Amino acid sequence: MAKFLLLAFRNVFRNRRRTMMTLFMVGGGVAGLLLVGGFFSFMFWGLRESTINGGLGHLQVFSADHFNRDEVRVLDTGIDNWRQVAATLKTGSHVRGVAPRIDFYGMVSNGDKSSVFMGSAVDPAAENSLGFTTRFASGNDLDSKPGGEVEALIGTGLAKSMNVKVGDGLTLLAMTSDGALNGVDVQIVGIVHSGIAEMDARSLRITLPAAQRLLQSDRVTNLVVGLDNTDNTDMVATELTPRLLNLPQKLVLKKWIELATYYKQVRSLFSMIFIFLGVIVFFMVLMSSVNTLLMTMFERTREIGTMLAMGTPGAWIVALFMLEATLIGILGAAVGLVAGNLLGFLLNHSGIHLPPPPGNTVPMPFKVLHVPSLMIGSSLLVIVSLALASILPAIRASRLRIAEALSHV
């Protein structure tokens, strides 16, 4: 077997120029997949972390009725004794903190003009402790100290449509739990942008106590849990779920992935694009390798005839050709891994930024992640492609007519 492997290995380097061309092609395919896949992985990672750190958190707790709620009277299905629930959640390992929230809707008016808003009431201190980032176009964050005027942050689009700036006042109107319309005057302390234009045209944020006064309820709609690492999400969710069952109110724990609709759509789209690229690389390697291996077989006709004449079983000839192709695949994959990782490293240090993707306003850095599963997958892809490509030439070689093969010039 070792001699046979040696024969295959030496045959691979018989025609060095052609082998180099094949390695270049196979390696190019692997490097291309690594760069594209690495960039997509970076995008997924960046989108995941920005989604989580943008306020989604790693886990969220809702009342069991939350998903059948009335969009106007949101706190009817809120969490009753949320401080007790928050304390329970904080007992989980890897939990960095818990932030209470009220997601609500209402009307905002500047006296001349009114608009619908999507409100979010937060505890600024809890949000900051979880590292949730807010991108300010101007102004400052909410003050968590009680008393004084009600402060608000509004999205850039909403500020533009309401023609207001930091320091100006607005009036918020929303439906209380008992169905009455309530209002509150707020002072704008900051104008924020999320990167998604549609969000910025509607978003408004006030403090939790202010929202509870407006909505006449001390409930919250949800509790956001921040962890030390996204990879611990499943483990903590498994740990906390039974603890929540011991509480009086029926609650539901959701992982970030279940709530990140946009992330899932983007990931699904780009995964399909990547699979399509993989299929193209597979056929590219397959078709060009069949041609190269048929040429190799043709050039070695007399040698194969000699081996068959000496009594080499046809299966050995098939195995030899497939082994040679597999070796080229392995070497090509190695070349591709080195080239792909090197190019990735250079690109990561080049400081290149891409234009903002559709719906976003922030340029995206061009980074390539070095993903082990991607390296293994793309290497296996080209190795299997080459092994498959060798089947036809290998079978042809094993079925050569010996007398004709021996007289082949």
Partner 1 sequence: MEEIVNVEAVSRSFPLDTSSAHHPSQSFVRALSHTTLRVTAGEFLAISGPSGSGKTTLLNLIGCIDRPTTGRILVDGVDTSTLKPKGMSSLRREKIGFVFQTFNLIPVFTAAENVEYPLLIQGVSSSERRQRVVEALESVGLSARANQRPDLLSGGERQRVAVARAIVHRPALVLADEPTANLDTHNATQLIDLMHGLNRRLGLTFIFSTHDARLLEHTERIVRLCDGEVISDQLQGGSRG
Instruction: Name which of 9 and 276 has its Cβ closer to partner 1.
Output: 9
For the chain, how big is the Rg over CA atoms in Å? 31
Minimum CB distance to partner 1, residue 1 (Å): 10
Nearer to partner 1, 315 or 380 (CB): 315
Long-range contacts at 228-237 (CB < 8 A, ≥ 24 apart): 228/94, 228/96, 229/94, 230/48, 230/49, 230/52, 230/58, 230/256, 232/58, 232/93, 232/94, 233/58, 233/59, 233/257, 235/93, 235/94, 236/58, 236/59, 236/92, 236/93, 236/94, 236/95, 237/59
If the CB atoms of residues 302 and 370 are measured against partner 1, the closer one turns out to be 302
- For the bound state, the minimum distance from the C-beta of residue 373 to partner 1, rounded and expressed in Å, comes to 37
Q: How far apart are CA 235 and CA 245, in angstroms?
A: 17
- The angle at the Cα of 165, spanning 159 to 168, to the nearest 5 degrees, equals 110
Are the C-beta atoms of 44 and 68 separated by less than 8 Å? Answer: no
**Of the two residues 225 and 322, which places its CB atom closer to partner 1 in the complex?**
322
Distance CA 93, CA 90 (A): 8
Amino acid found at 60: Q
Q: How far is the CB of 310 from partner 1 (least distance, A)?
A: 6
Phi-psi region of 356 (alpha: psi -120 to 50; beta: other; left: phi over 0): beta
CB of 3 vs partner 1, minimal distance in Å: 6
- Residues 97/129, Cβ–Cβ less than 8 Å: yes
Q: Please state, in angstroms and as integers, the Cα–Cα distance from residue 149 to each residue in 115, 145, 152, 169, following that order.
A: 22, 11, 10, 10
Give the per-residue SS3 of 284-319: HHHHHHHHHHHHHHHHCHHHHHHHHHCCCCHHHHHH
Q: How far is the CB of 289 from partner 1 (least distance, A)?
A: 20
Contact set with partner 1 (CB under 8 A): 3-4, 6-7, 10-11, 14, 302-303, 306-314, 316, 402-403, 406
In whole angstroms, the minimum distance from the beta carbon of 332 to partner 1 comes to 20
Q: Alpha carbon 185 to chain centroid distance?
A: 40
- Of 7 and 244, the one with the shorter C-beta distance to partner 1 is 7
Distance in Å, CB of 386 to partner 1, minimum = 20
Task: For partner 1, give the closer residue by CB, 179 or 313.
Answer: 313
Closer residue to partner 1 (CB): 306 or 341: 306
Contact 83, 98 (CB under 8 A): no
C-beta closer to partner 1: residue 301 or 385? 301
Query: If DSSP codes are grouped into helix, strand and coil, which group holds residue 159?
Result: helix
Least distance CB 233 / partner 1 (angstroms): 55
Cβ pair 40, 202 in contact under 8 A? no
CB of 304 to partner 1, least distance (A): 10
Rounded-to-10 torsion of CA 276, 281, 283, 289: 180
DSSP-derived secondary structure for 228-279: S-GGGHHHHHHHHHHHHHTSSS-EEEEEHHHH-HHHHHHHHHHHHHHHHHHH
Q: What is the smallest separation between the CB atom of 21 and partner 1, expressed in angstroms?
A: 19
Q: Residue 14 Cβ, how far from partner 1 at the closest point, in Å?
A: 6
- Pick 136 or 316: Cβ nearer partner 1: 316
* Residue closer to partner 1 (CB basis): 180 or 310: 310
Nearer to partner 1, 272 or 309 (CB): 309
